[in-house]
Copies of this chain bind each other. A is one copy, B any other.
Amino acid sequence: MLTPERQQIILELLKTKNVVTVHEMCEATDASVSTIRRDLAQLESEEKLRRVHGGASRLHSKITEPTVMEKSAKNISEKKAIASYAASLVENGDCVYLDAGTSTMQMVPFLRGKDIVVVTNGFHLIDPLIKNEIETYILGGKMKVKTGAVVGAKALDSIETYRFDKSFIGINGIHEKYGYTTPDPEEAIMKRKAIGLSQKSYILADHSKLKEVTFSKVAEISEASIITSYHEKDELKQLKSLTTVEVVRK
């Protein structure tokens, strides 16, 4: 096995596990402990991971590691199913806004090969978008460390200069009375603005977000369509009276 291949496996392991033992890495790569140790020393010097006694851990960097966010995010398979469906709504020629967040990030691989333009405020989305050969615009503004989102007054100005065919928004709370809500006011403003600038807006939300209410209101239920995953029928009834709800089976 070649060195880069081995190191790649180590890094992949770390993406899923946060901490990995030397022994686990030996098994995964069929290499000896010495070799693994040498790899670890090198990868640490490249700041790809942090060595700990017995193995290695991810460097819990503030913004750089979408994987942290990604991994800590629950319901990944559910999100993938939702993302896949959402991506299927995107047609060639569309100008699309992708909100910062894990839900929308899951969409990116499914957009590969489409002839579209994507605008985003999500730092973490840039890399996958580029990798999937999608023409990408980033909003200008303040980098928010915790979420990797571009926010603030400059970002609002920035988004104003675009118009979107479709926007895809991640959300933390959906409630028939209180509408769409998210914890951070600055990000809420961005989401609201994006919805306002789009012909059609879609809210991506796994089932854990239904009936939830968080701090900052983004919009009324009727202002966007909802894409969520399978659920007891009754829970969606009220929402369906207010807007389109697409239910995806995971």
B-binding residues in A (CB < 8 A): 2-5, 8, 18-19, 21, 46, 52-55, 57, 61-64, 67, 123, 126-127, 129-131, 135-143, 145, 150, 154-155, 157-158, 161
Contact = CB atoms under 8 A, between A and B. Distances in A.
B161 A154 contact: yes
Contacts of A67: 46
Contact of A52 (B3, B126, B138, B143): B3
Contacts of A127: 61, 63-64
A18 to B, nearest CB: 7
A57 B1 CA distance: 12
A159 B139 CA distance: 12
Contact of A140 (B19, B52, B61, B138): B138
B157 A143 contact: no
A8 B58 CA distance: 13
Contact of A126 (B5, B46, B123, B136): B123
A62 B2 contact: no
7 contacts: A2-B19, A4-B19, A8-B19, A123-B138, A140-B140, A154-B158, A157-B161
Nearest to A123: B126
Given A64-B131, A138-B138, A161-B157, A21 B46 contact: no
Contacts of A145: 130
A38 to B, nearest CB: 12
A52 B1 CA distance: 11
